[in-house]
Each structure stands twice: as structure tokens, then as C-alpha cells.
Structure 1
Amino acid sequence: MKKLPICLALILSALLAGCQRPEEAVPPSSLLPKEKMIQLLVEVHLNESRVEGSRMRADSAQALFNQLQKDMFWRHEVSDSAFWQSYRYYAVHEKDLDEMYGIVLDSLAMRKVKMQAMPKQ
């Protein structure tokens, strides 16, 4: 499965949210803290990677990704709507989203380094 649909959805939501001026954006009542959003965004990208690495057919890969996301939200006790509302809010505040994604990218890079340092079985 290509990362395109999910990345496209994230970019599209950021663009749509960008139509609203940051000072006008009202935080949703279910706004997730930045730390929680960072954890979830890291997991979203790890889930994408797992699904892409599975080399499943597109429909099976999409079903797997949806299940991984559902499990992730359940484990973190977060609704998907709270996640997307929070994402849109942070996207309006580009500085916040940029800062969060900097941490997400650092976290993913650290995981990669740790994985590469592990002995092969």
C-alpha cells in the first residue's frame, strides 16, 4: 500500500484547516495535548510502514491499516474524531504542527537507528 492516501489526507486536512486564521481557531473540547498527539503520530507512521511492508493487496492492506488504527485509538483511549479534530486544530497553528512533526521525525529516526543496531536473527 502506498503512503499516498494517508499522507494526502493529512496534507488536505492541513490545507483545509489553513483557510481559517490561527487566531480565529477555537480549540476543540476534546483537544489532545501535544505529547499525546506526538505519540499517536509516531504510531500512525509506524502503522503505515508495517502495512506497506506487508506487501498485501490494496484492499487487504487498507483493512489492516484501519484495524491497526482502531487498535491504536483503543489502547490510547482516544476517539478517532478527537484525533482528527486535534490534528486540524494543530494544522491551523502551523508552528505547533511543525514542532510536533520535528519530534515525530526524531522519534522515528531514533527507532530506525535502534533497529539497525540490533543483531540480525
Structure 2
Amino acid sequence: MRQILSFSLLIGLIIVFLSGCENDEKPPKGTLSEEKMATILSEIHIAESRVTRLQLKSLDSSLLIFGRLKDGIWKKHKVDTLAYHNSYDYYMLHPKQMSKIYENVQKKIEAREKQKNIKL
């Protein structure tokens, strides 16, 4: 029992240590910039909010509308879904950067709310 507890503690410490390590590695080629990710994520969250406010009874209809809104976002920013998903995956593995991105997302959404005098 002690061996299992010791082993579990060791694994836990290794995970904490590795997750705390932040190096200055450069994002892979094709990774969207933090600013572009923040812009796209804020528009995605706004689109989600719009679909939610529609209060559609059909999940299929909600997904269809949300899919079309996302397609518009991809076209507007000239980004394909693979580049977005690869960038999202990269930033999820780099929590400090993702935290900065989401701080920027929050600022963008708040600015839009003030500008349009709406609450999302």
C-alpha cells in the first residue's frame, strides 16, 4: 500500500513539475497569432450566445445555425478549421499563453457590449 501511495505521489509531483515548466518554444509554423486567436474566439463565443438566445427547441437546428456562423467566421478571417484547431491545441498546451488570449477575449467582448450597448 505504501508503494502505491509513494508511486502516486511521485507521479503527481512529476505532473505538477512538468506542467509548471514553461519554456520559450516558438509555436509551430501555421499557428495563429495570440491576437488572431483572441479575435476568432471572441466571435465564436458571441455566435454561441446568439444561438443560445434563439432558444431553439431542436438541437440539430442550433448546431446547423452555429455551424453556419462559424463558417462565416472562418471566411471573414481567412482561416481554415485545421489551422484553428491546431492553434487551439497548441495554446491549450501552453496555459500562460491561453490565459493571455482569454483575457484579450474578455476585453473584446466587453468592448463590443459597450459599443453596441448589449449584454451577451
- Fold shared, TM-score > 0.5 on shorter chain: yes
1:89 aligns with 2:77: no
* TM-score, length-scaled by structure 2: 0.72
Aligned to 2:29: 29
Cα drift, residue 106 of structure 1? 1.3
Q: Does 1 or 2 have the higher relative contact order (CA < 8 Å, sep 6+)?
A: 1
1:103 aligns with 2:82: no
Cα drift, residue 116 of structure 1? 2.5
Aligned residues, how many?
A: 99
1:55 aligns with 2:70: no
Instruction: Tell whether the 8 Å contact from 1:22 to 1:92 is kept in structure 2 after alignment.
Output: no
Question: What code does the residue aligned with 1:32 have?
Answer: L
Matches within 5 A, 1:7-86: 23=23, 27-56=27-56, 57-86=58-87
Instruction: Tell whether the 8 Å contact from 1:28 to 1:85 is kept in structure 2 after alignment.
Output: no
User: Larger radius of gyration, structure 1 or 2?
Assistant: 2
Cα drift, residue 113 of structure 1? 2.2
Question: What code does the residue aligned with 1:102 have?
Answer: E
The answer to which of 27-36 and 94-103 deviates more is 27-36
Instruction: Name stretches of at least 5 consecutive residues in structure 2 with no aligned partner.
Output: 1-17
Instruction: Name stretches of at least 5 consecutive residues in structure 1 with no aligned partner.
Output: 1-17
Instruction: Tell whether the 8 Å contact from 2:39 to 2:108 is kept in structure 1 after alignment.
Output: no
> Aligned partners of 2:88 and 2:103: how far apart in 1?
15
Question: What code does the residue aligned with 2:114 have?
Answer: V
> Aligned partners of 1:55 and 1:81: how far apart in 2?
30
Aligned to 2:13: none
> Aligned partners of 2:27 and 2:115: how far apart in 1?
36
Instruction: Tell whether the 8 Å contact from 1:42 to 1:107 is kept in structure 2 after alignment.
Output: yes
Cα drift, residue 110 of structure 1? 1.8
Aligned to 1:5: none
